[in-house]
Amino acid sequence: MVHDNYTDSLITEIRSLDNGGRRTFFDNWTIDYKIGGGNFGCVYRASCGQERAAIKIVSVDLHSSEDFAKEVKILQRLRSPNIVDIKDCDVISSGDLTKSYMVIRMEKLHPLNIKNMSYNEIIRLAFNMCSALTTCHSTRPPILHRDIKPDNILVSDNGIYKLGDFGAAWMFDGTREKKYYTTPLYMPPEVSANRTFDARSDIYSLGLSLYTLFNHGQPAFSGVGDIGKAIKIRLSGAMLPDIPGLSPAIMNVLRTACNPNPALRYQNAGQLAAALQYAISQPVQKQPMPNKPQPKQKKKHPFWRGLFSVIGIIAGIALLVFLIFYIYKIFFFGF
């Protein structure tokens, strides 16, 4: 039995489950610390010898565990350098099946530094995410992520950005119950209005995530002060405000991706990537630098300027008289 370096109520409970006497990969991994948690479970850093991984634990019931297992198996077949690689998965349950947890082992990655990403890093992230969505949406049936946000985008040690947290992902075959699980801050308007959603909804959430990253971690309309009000303004169809310093071409890409009308958005991730590539190839219009202000010269009062002129004239006349008198003495008197 492994001895965890970190534990909490969830880890303690899972370790106590007998799982019908069946062993799983989880029995061989030591929990080192908690990475984070979200709407669909908690993620931990774990180790097995020299190997490191991230382990996600999701609470499931008897029926949903079958669905989760099916989705995980599909995601294991999504071979993309920009999708988190799932190494293994299993279900751990109590003997009476009243408690069940889906345990997923994934590659170890790092969360984004949302408030301090450079322009080039965000551009690279955008292309990586377009690649990930192209892979998801081109499967048959398409897989919708349904919870794209900066927190669900991770980065590897060598700077490759990967889409993770597929706990909300679903196969969109037109027959499933049309539910959409996403963070309200990145929810598309059609979802808020309970209208039909599709792959273009993922495009919207990605565009809004890019807006937040370009805006140094500040979501759209956050300037109003209240996040609930900001969400209402955005869902009402208001145009995304400009981001200081961001080129109009990039802003146009973001606004198109986040158009309230899905028909007017980019229809797939490939179109978004092509538009972004064109936007970054456009020359940036530099604003002319203002002329350097010259130091102000002190203005002299007219009275003093006139007085100094008179004094100068008098001094000149006196000097001239002195020179004439001096020359006269030398010429007539010899001294």
Single pTM value for the model: 0.75
Instruction: Please give the Cα distance from 185 to 150 (Å, whole number).
Output: 11
Vertex 180: Cα angle to 177 and 181 (nearest 5): 130
The answer to whether 213 touches 150, Cβ cutoff 8 Å, is yes
3-state helix, strand, coil in the chain (%, to 5): 45, 15, 40
pLDDT value of position 240: 97
Tokens in use for 80? 């993309």
Low-confidence ranges of the chain (pLDDT < 50): 175-177, 287-294
Instruction: Please give the Cα distance from 161 to 124 (Å, whole number).
Output: 8
State the CB neighbour count (10 A cutoff) for residue 179: 10
pLDDT value of position 177: 46
122-134 exposure pattern, b = at least 16 Cβ within 10 A, e = fewer: bbbbbbbbbbbbb
Tokens in use for 245? 């310093």
pLDDT value of position 166: 72
Nearest alpha carbon to residue 218 among 208, 204, 228:
208
The answer to whether 29 touches 108, Cβ cutoff 8 Å, is no
Tokens in use for 111? 């969360």
pLDDT value of position 39: 61
DSSP state letter for 260 = S
pLDDT value of position 69: 67
The answer as to CATH 3.30.200.20 being correct for domain 9-106 is yes
Sign of CA dihedral 180, 182, 203, 166: negative
Give CATH for domain 110-281: 1.10.510.10
Instruction: Please give the Cα distance from 11 to 57 (Å, whole number).
Output: 9
